[in-house]
């Protein structure tokens, strides 16, 4: 009886410690995701309040995303070398301080600089929270931990536009950034008091930095991201020049890595089938998910003739499903295994994209929302299982850089998806101006865009099935 009481007490203490640990990791993930989407709704206000054009105001969003995309791997590597917990605290502190700078920015230029710094802090928050799960949570509960992080990320992304609108209406645009300050300070308190420091960093002399690799990789990613985003969906000589420069910079990065004593990305990582497949699938699924953000508003408003408020409500269905699916997905990953759940997620994504590619407008709003909900549920299942699988496949001294690569693959997928899916949709829906496209044109554009997404989904499912059948990749 005493032994039973002692065991129950131990489990209670362990569960309480786990809850505090997860809260310490979940809050930074929530803040970084919220900051990604909350600024979108503030662009019209920024153009009126600050002397800025719409193109200049867009850099408030782009600067944040570029900072995250270009720095994720470097920050992950630094976490492996120095100390993930301390670097996470530094990232949260930078994010919070930069939020103060954003709120008090007198010009659009200073606001953009502050958003770059905020993005660097967010890169640490996104990358290191995933990496720290592998070091602070037992393997039997890793799936549930990843599901929680996926849920709070989806909540942050979904909450951003509505919360931003309320804050701007009540207190003005600086409130979008002031909101981060108390929660950033709370995150610092939680990390300092409840996140265990159980990883001994590598000795600096043995680990080594790769400053040239960091510089060349950051330059390559920045050039590629700019090539995919400038021009608003049209590909000009300017985009081609940026893409060519990215290719040259990428070639220099590969050359530098081969001769580096301590390369930024270890070649052994890319030679592991589990990690290589996971990164490719992460990029593919992000490319697919971007289709819903690009096509959805036009199809709902122009083909199904929904008023603006109903378009927003319909578009929120996907993020809500993703948020509700994360924790159950984590439970089933722990129970059934990550391989079967990765495959199940891709099966749902494939079915949903195929349905969206053939669904007629006669099915109405539910005919669009139902497959999108299946799509986002499949996405949540895949993300949870894939993140769990990749963190289990790498040792503690490599989790930071792998987590950075995972975040990078997702962001590159989103950037590429915005360009590719946007180009497919606008080319099919209207050869001149999307604003003058008919309902039939919009429907055709939507169906072809999801047809392309279905091809990507079949490719992702094929990779997942191959991994599932490969018994050497446990």
Here the tokens at position 37 are 């989407």
pLDDT digits (tens, 9 = 90+) for 35-92: 887 887 777 788 788 877 766 777 888 889 888 888 888 888 888 888 888 999 999 9
Residues contacting residue 58 through CB under 8 Å, at least 6 positions apart: 43
CATH 1.20.1250.20 assigned to domain 265-474? The reply is yes
Q: How far apart are CA 384 and CA 400, in angstroms?
A: 17
Longest dimension (CA), the chain: 78
Task: Tell the CATH topology of 1-209.
Answer: Growth Hormone; Chain: A; (1.20.1250)
**The pLDDT value given to residue 4:** 52
Q: 0.75 cut: is pTM over it? A: yes
**The pLDDT value given to residue 244:** 92
Please give the C-alpha separations between residue 75 and each of 150, 356, 418, in angstroms, as whole numbers. 20, 38, 25
The average confidence (pLDDT) of the chain is 83
The structural domains of the chain, with segments of one domain joined by +, span 1-209, 214-261, 265-474
**Residue 125 contacts residue 203 (beta carbons within 8 Å):** no
Q: What is the pLDDT along the chain (474 residues), one digit of tens a residue?
A: 454 544 444 445 456 777 888 899 999 999 998 888 788 777 778 878 887 776 677 788 888 988 888 888 888 888 888 888 899 999 999 999 999 999 999 998 999 999 999 999 999 999 899 888 877 777 778 888 888 888 888 888 777 777 888 888 888 889 999 999 999 999 999 999 888 775 555 554 445 667 888 888 888 888 887 787 666 556 678 888 988 998 999 899 888 888 777 777 777 777 788 888 999 999 999 899 888 877 888 888 888 888 877 877 787 788 888 888 888 998 899 888 888 999 999 999 999 999 999 988 788 889 999 999 999 999 999 999 998 888 888 877 777 888 888 888 888 888 888 778 877 887 777 655 566 778 888 888 889 999 999 999 999 999 999 887 775 454
The reply to whether 1-209 and 265-474 are identical in fold is yes
Q: How far apart are CA 382 and CA 285, in angstroms?
A: 9
Q: Which of the 8 DSSP states describes residue 203?
A: P
**The pLDDT value given to residue 472:** 47
Written as one string, the DSSP assignment of 340-409 is: HHHHHHHHHHHHHHHHHHH--GGGHHHHHHHHHHHHHHHHHHHHHHHHHHHHHTS-GGGHHHHHHHHHHH
């Amino acid at each position: 009886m005493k032994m039973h009481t002692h065991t129950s007490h131990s489990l209670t203490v362990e569960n309480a410690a786990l809850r505090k640990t997860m809260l310490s990791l979940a809050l930074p993930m929530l803040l970084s995701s919220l900051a990604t989407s909350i600024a979108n709704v503030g662009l019209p206000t920024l153009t009126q309040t600050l002397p800025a054009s719409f193109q200049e105001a867009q850099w408030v969003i782009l600067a944040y995303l570029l900072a995250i995309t270009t720095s994720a791997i470097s920050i992950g590597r630094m976490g492996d070398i120095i100390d993930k917990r301390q670097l996470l605290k530094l990232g949260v502190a930078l994010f919070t301080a930069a939020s103060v700078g954003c709120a008090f920015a007198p010009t659009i230029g200073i606001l953009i600089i502050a958003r770059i710094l905020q993005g660097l802090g967010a890169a640490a928050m996104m990358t290191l929270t995933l990496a720290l799960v592998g070091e602070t949570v037992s393997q039997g509960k890793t799936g549930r931990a990843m599901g929680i992080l996926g849920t709070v990320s989806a909540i942050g992304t979904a909450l951003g536009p509505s919360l931003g609108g309320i804050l701007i209406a009540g207190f003005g645009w600086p409130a979008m950034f002031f909101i981060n300050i108390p929660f950033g300070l709370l995150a610092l308190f939680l990390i300092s008091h409840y996140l265990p420091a159980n990883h001994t960093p590598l000795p600096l002399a043995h680990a080594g930095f790769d400053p040239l690799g960091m510089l060349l990789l950051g330059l390559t990613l920045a050039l590629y991201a700019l090539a995919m985003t400038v021009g608003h969906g049209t590909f000009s000589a300017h985009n081609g020049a940026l893409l060519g420069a990215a290719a040259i910079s990428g070639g220099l990065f590969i050359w530098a890595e081969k001769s580096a004593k301590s390369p930024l990305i270890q070649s052994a990582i890319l030679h592991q089938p589990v990690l290589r497949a996971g990164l490719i699938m992460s990029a593919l699924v992000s490319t697919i998910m971007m289709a819903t953000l690009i096509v959805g508003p036009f199809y709902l408003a122009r083909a199904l003739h929904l008023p603006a408020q109903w378009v927003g409500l319909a578009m929120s269905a996907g993020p809500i499903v993703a948020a509700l699916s994360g924790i159950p997905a984590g439970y089933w990953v722990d129970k059934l295994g990550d391989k079967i759940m990765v495959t199940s997620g891709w099966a749902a994504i494939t079915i949903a994209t195929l349905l969206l590619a053939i669904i007629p407008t006669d099915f109405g709003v539910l005919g669009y929302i139902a497959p999108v909900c299946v799509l986002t549920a499949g996405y949540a299942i895949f993300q949870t299982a894939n993140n769990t699988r990749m963190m289990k496949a790498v040792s503690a001294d490599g989790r930071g850089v792998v987590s950075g690569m995972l975040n990078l693959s997702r962001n590159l997928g989103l950037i590429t998806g915005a360009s590719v899916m946007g180009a497919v949709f606008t080319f099919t829906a209207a050869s001149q101006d999307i604003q003058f496209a008919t309902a039939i044109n919009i429907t055709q554009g939507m169906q072809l865009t999801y047809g392309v997404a279905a091809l990507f989904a079949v490719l992702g499912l094929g990779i997942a099935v191959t991994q599932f059948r490969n018994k050497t990749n446990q």
